[in-house]
């Protein structure tokens, strides 16, 4: 009996050690950043990515309008079935924002979901999508963020409060090992050599992170690539986020021009207004490059047609 107890104890210790090692945060290697050698930041590209990425939708103060949407003071509360997430500020302020971060810190957050102090970020921060962004684009976005205004006063950021077992942050490391992937969802051969479709894929799957809301989740609560953009339960409450594939359940009745115009104006082909969280998305995309809205529209018309997820 004593021997069995010892064996069980050793197995438990070994299991805990394996869990601790496998769940450890993984940063980008220093050699990864050599891709930026000689890169001169392009602020215009950084600004465009800022709007495509929807940074203001989450990190501006709740209900901010106009120029105030560029003051990234944080304070929004994201509700979910698993608890609430308090959204931090990402202004250039060193105390209330990310002014004391290095670019490596920023790249680790965006592509690896790791904080400067070595903790896992919850994937409510959509790094599962941002991981697909290139380092030069991240460098441009980082440079643009440094130009934004600093809030006049600090904002109280609500505490993130999750139910068990979702409050076990360390376990996110195992989730990342299974689900964090930089490869595109829609393979190259599905798009051919069309640079417009390739650009649209990059914007939708990466900075635009459209799949985070429009794609059903699998058993591991990761986006299910087999049902890509086929609509999903609203992650923030009641109702559903619509299917945006070219299926009759989705955007089959929309032309590519309809989609591009909708992203700019907020109007559907029937001249209804896009509501809910999509209204904020439109505010962002209205500031993005017209050719990028067109590329997104072309991609959505080209991907596999799927019924509602």
- Looking at domain 188-302, its CATH architecture is Orthogonal Bundle (1.10)
Cα distance between residue 152 and residue 142, in whole Å: 21
pTM for the model stands at 0.91
- What does the pLDDT look like over 209-237, one tens digit per residue? 999 999 999 999 899 999 999 999 887 76
Domain boundaries, the chain: 35-179, 188-302
Cα distance between residue 128 and residue 150, in whole Å: 28
* Structural tokens at position 201: 């894929």
Q: Pick from 46, 299, 53, 50: which is nearest to 185 by CA?
A: 299
* Structural tokens at position 214: 């429009």
Distances (CA, A) of 232 to 92, 228, 244, 252: 35, 10, 10, 18
Return per-residue pLDDT of the chain as tens, 309 residues.
666 665 656 555 566 666 556 667 889 988 899 878 889 999 999 999 999 999 999 999 888 888 889 889 888 888 888 888 889 999 999 988 999 999 999 999 999 999 999 999 999 999 999 999 999 999 999 999 999 988 877 777 888 888 887 788 888 999 999 999 999 999 988 888 899 999 999 999 999 999 999 999 999 989 999 999 999 988 776 788 999 999 999 999 999 999 999 999 989 888 888 878 888 899 999 999 999 999 999 999 999 999 997
Residue 9, pLDDT score: 61
Which stretches within 53-126 are classed as H helix? 55-59, 103-112
Q: At what angle do helices 2-22 and 172-179 cross, to 10 degrees?
A: 60
Q: Pick from 219, 177, 225: which is nearest to 201 by CA?
A: 225
Q: Pick from 179, 188, 182: which is nearest to 303 by CA?
A: 188
Q: At what angle do helices 135-145 and 103-112 cross, to 10 degrees?
A: 120
Check residue 276 and report its DSSP letter: T
Residue 270, pLDDT score: 85
Which stretches within the chain are classed as H helix? 2-22, 43-52, 55-59, 103-112, 127-130, 135-145, 172-179, 195-205, 211-214, 256-265, 277-285, 290-302
Cα distance between residue 243 and residue 203, in whole Å: 18
Residues 6+ apart with CB under 8 A from 55: 72, 90, 145
For the chain, how big is the Rg over CA atoms in Å? 21
Q: What is the 3-state secondary structure (H, E, C) of 289-307?
A: CHHHHHHHHHHHHHCCCCC
């Amino acid at each position: 009996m004593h021997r069995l107890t010892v064996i069980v104890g050793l197995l438990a210790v070994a299991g805990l050690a394996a869990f601790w090692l496998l769940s450890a945060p993984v940063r980008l290697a220093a050699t990864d950043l050599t891709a930026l050698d000689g890169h001169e930041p392009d602020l215009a590209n950084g600004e465009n990515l800022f709007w495509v990425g929807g940074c203001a939708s989450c990190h501006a103060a709740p209900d901010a309008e106009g120029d105030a949407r560029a003051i990234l003071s944080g304070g929004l509360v994201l509700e979910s079935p698993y608890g609430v997430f308090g959204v931090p500020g990402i202004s250039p302020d060193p105390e209330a924002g990310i002014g004391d971060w290095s670019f490596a810190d920023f790249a680790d957050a965006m592509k690896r979901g790791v904080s400067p102090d070595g903790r896992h970020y919850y994937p409510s921060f959509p790094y599962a999508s941002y991981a697909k962004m290139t380092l030069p684009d991240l460098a441009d976005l980082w440079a643009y963020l440094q130009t934004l205004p600093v809030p006049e006063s600090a904002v109280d950021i609500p505490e993130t409060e999750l139910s068990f077992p979702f409050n076990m942050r360390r376990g996110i490391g195992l989730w990342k090992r299974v689900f964090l992937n930089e490869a595109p969802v829609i393979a190259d051969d599905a798009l051919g050599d069309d640079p417009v479709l390739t650009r649209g894929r990059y914007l939708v799957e990466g900075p635009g992170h459209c799949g985070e809301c429009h794609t059903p989740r699998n058993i591991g609560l990761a986006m299910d690539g087999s049902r890509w953009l086929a609509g999903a339960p609203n992650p923030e409450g009641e109702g559903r986020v619509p299917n945006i594939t070219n299926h009759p359940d989705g955007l089959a009745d929309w032309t590519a021009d309809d989609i591009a115009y909708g992203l700019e104006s907020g109007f559907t082909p029937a001249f209804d207004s896009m509501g809910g969280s999509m209204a904020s998305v439109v505010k962002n995309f209205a500031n993005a490059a017209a050719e990028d809205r067109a590329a997104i529209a072309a991609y959505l018309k080209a991907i596999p047609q799927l019924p509602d997820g």
